[in-house]
């Protein structure tokens, strides 16, 4: 069982794909996952990656920076191949028109036909779901909710990005590029695997209960029956005028069994605060402050390594917010080094998924 990685920063799609294809034993590739900067034309890279690995299940998405063992990159493409001994079975489905309706039923009917068992009977220990979703669609939480209703299998992944342009992001499968879509991959890995969700925050104490919200717009209108911006600023002990500057260091989180599901604020409009993830009325959100991202990520990886008895590969979905924090604190190199000892690929994402949708988090698939 072999998991291999490769990356390329070549100027053209042809050059980059050729470099990747040359790095893998293309005959024996069962599944290939790749993450590519938007400087590579989306339709072209998806078509050529698909063509370069005939017979393999090939899928990926666009990024806001890429991760490969030991390094964080920009303007490149990174890929991970799984040989035929690593993957017992795999099926990819594309869910379209997400903004209209987050309907995953057809995809799950296809999974059920392919694997020969109903989605609610599939065992989370045998199956692994990967979700790559358009990071500009704004409905990731609805898609995750719909998936969660269908199955107990974990779906983990990230929201495709577009190099921080915030215009259009892309998911890739079947040799095509899609927007307003999600690529769902259901697989049966031959090796053990673990799912990691890590975020570097701690609770500060004050709780803000959502008392009025517009879920579809990811807008919170009131916390604790007060204008949202006023209550948020009061909890932080700053003026409303100062609040937006505190957003990166003080997001909010729904804390479940001590585990924060972060909602990152984006802007204040009127009295409302908008987020990268919606919250439901009645939901208690905790005010958070940042902790040490390097130490926390290292600890999470160490725990997973101990659990699995070793690591043969990691796929990382790392929030672009975290990447910006790493850049600001000049920790890019330190972060890359956390993944130096095992085959790793990943990308900086516009949202992360694991059970639900969240922000300012790294979700990871760790293979033993």
Partner 1 sequence: MPGKIKRMIDEILAERSKGNEMVEKIVRTKLILKGIDPAKFTESSDDDPAIIEKLEKMMQN
**Nearer Cβ to partner 1, position 278 or 312?**
278
* Ranges of H-type helices in 127-283: 140-150, 228-236, 240-246
Q: Interface residues with partner 1 (CB under 8 A)?
A: 119-120, 124, 141, 144-145, 148-150, 152, 154, 254, 256-257, 259, 261, 280-283, 355-356
Phi first, then psi: give them for residue 99, nearest 5 degrees.
-65, -30
Start-to-end CA span in the chain (Å)? 11
122 has which bridge partners? none
Q: Which lies closer to partner 1 via its Cβ, residue 37 or residue 363?
A: 363
Shortest Å distance, C-beta 338 to partner 1: 26
Closest Cα partner for 273 from 321, 319, 230?
A: 230
Do 80 and 345 form a contact (C-beta atoms < 8 A)? yes
Contact 188, 88 (CB under 8 A): yes
Query: For residues 105 and 249, which CB has a smaller minimum distance to partner 1 in the complex?
Result: 105
Beta carbon nearer to partner 1, 52 or 277:
277
Minimum distance of partner 1 from residue 110's CB (angstroms): 15
Maximum separation of any 2 CA atoms in the chain, in Å? 62
Q: Please give the helix or strand (H or E) that residue 289 lies within, else none.
A: strand 284-290
DSSP-H helix ranges across 116-203: 140-150
| CB-nearer residue toward partner 1: 120 or 249 | 120
Closest to partner 1 by CB, 127 vs 172, is: 127
Q: How far is the CB of 168 from partner 1 (least distance, A)?
A: 28
Provide the residue count of the chain: 368
Closest CA to 168 of 94, 62, 75, 73: 62
Q: State the nearest-atom distance from the C-beta of 152 to partner 1, in Å.
A: 5
């Amino acid at each position: 069982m072999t998991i291999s990685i490769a990356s390329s920063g070549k100027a053209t799609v042809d050059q980059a794909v050729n470099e990747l294809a040359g790095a893998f034993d293309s005959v024996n590739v069962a599944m290939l996952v790749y993450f590519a900067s938007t400087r590579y034309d989306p339709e072209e890279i998806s078509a050529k990656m698909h063509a370069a690995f005939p017979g393999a299940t090939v899928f990926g998405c666009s990024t806001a920076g890429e991760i490969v063992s030991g390094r964080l990159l920009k303007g490149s493409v990174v890929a991970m191949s799984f040989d035929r001994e690593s993957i017992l079975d795999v099926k990819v489905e594309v869910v379209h028109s997400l903004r209209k309706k987050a309907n995953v039923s057809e995809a799950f009917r296809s999974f059920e036909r392919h694997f020969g068992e109903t989605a609610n009977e599939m065992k989370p220990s045998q199956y692994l779901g990967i979700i790559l979703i358009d990071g500009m669609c704004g409905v990731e939480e609805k898609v995750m909710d719909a998936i969660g209703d269908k199955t107990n299998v974990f779906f983990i992944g990230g929201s495709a990005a577009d190099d921080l342009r915030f215009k259009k992001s892309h998911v890739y499968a079947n040799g095509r590029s899609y927007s307003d879509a999600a690529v769902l991959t259901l697989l049966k890995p031959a090796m053990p695997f673990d799912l990691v969700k890590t975020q570097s925050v701690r609770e500060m104490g004050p709780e803000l209960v959502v008392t009025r919200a517009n879920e579809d717009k990811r807008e919170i209108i009131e916390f604790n029956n007060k204008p949202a911006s006023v209550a948020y600023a009061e909890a932080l002990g700053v003026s409303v005028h100062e609040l937006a500057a505190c957003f990166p260091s003080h997001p909010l989180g729904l804390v479940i069994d001590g585990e924060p599901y972060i909602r990152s604020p984006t802007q204040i409009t009127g009295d409302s605060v908008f987020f990268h993830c919606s919250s439901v009325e009645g939901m208690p959100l905790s005010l958070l402050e940042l902790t040490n991202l390097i130490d926390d990520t290292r600890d999470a990886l160490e725990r997973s390594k101990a659990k699995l008895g070793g690591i043969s590969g990691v796929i990382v979905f790392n929030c672009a917010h975290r990447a910006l924090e790493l850049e600001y604190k000049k920790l890019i190199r330190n972060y890359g080094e956390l993944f130096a000892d095992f085959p790793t690929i990943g990308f900086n994402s516009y949202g992360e998924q694991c059970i639900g949708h969240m922000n300012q988090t790294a979700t990871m698939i760790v293979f033993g």
